[in-house]
Amino acid sequence: MSCRLNGRIQRGRERVRVRILDISEGGLCLLVPVWLDPKQPAALAIDVPGRATAQVQIEIWHIRREKSKSSTNKVWIAGAVLRDSDRAYAQLLEAAGLVEKASSAAAPSPTPAPAEPQVETIDSVEPRVFRLHCKAKGSPRSRVLTLAADSEEEARKLAEADLGRDWDLLEVRET
């Protein structure tokens, strides 16, 4: 969900102010004034208007420089994967309508005792992995998707659903 929240990333003793551009159940898109090392964990405090500050642990997944001709400052766009969060973050997601609200009246159901595995029900066949080479229509842009599917036909259907009508499948290869 697109949003405009402010926050702070804690890296050691350094605090970096960030702007949260997009928020989801599994990750965030951040606008940051400094380079953040990919694959590095960080603590993020999100300022939620009218609520408590949400504390989350994130891992920077990717980062790129924003290409803006109007801005003289270096600005980076970082994608972050959520590692751990607190109750305030869950409330933020509920308020945004990204997750269903947990019913406070419903008692948690007891976890069933683990059943003994039966040989007939265990599926020991690993999924087949396919690499699909795709090209954007009317553009030199290309992509390689890696998908797990039961068949080549299913891999094609998954890729077409993911890419949309603006892409052509050039090659499907099983790895």
CA–CA dist 32, 17 (Å, integer): 7
CA–CA dist 90, 97 (Å, integer): 11
Residue-wise pLDDT tens digits, 112-167: 556 555 544 444 456 678 888 889 888 888 888 888 888 899 889 988 888 888 88
Q: Which of 11-20, 52-61, 83-92 has the lowest mean pLDDT?
A: 83-92
Residue 102 has pLDDT above 60, yes or no: no
- Residues 7, 20 contacting (CB under 8 angstroms): yes
Instruction: With 0.75 as the threshold, say if the pTM is over it.
Output: no
Amino acid at 24: S
The alpha carbon torsion through 78, 79, 82, 86 (nearest 10 deg) reads: 50
pLDDT at 151: 87
Q: What is the mean pLDDT of residues 78-86?
A: 82
pLDDT band at 73 (very low <50, low <70, confident <90, very high): low
Segment (H or E) for 150 = none
| Sequential DSSP letters for 4-48 | EEEEEEEETTEEEEEEEEEE-SSEEEEEESS---TT-EEEEEEE-
Q: What is the mean pLDDT of residues 26-50?
A: 84
pLDDT at 111: 58
pLDDT at 5: 83
pLDDT at 60: 86
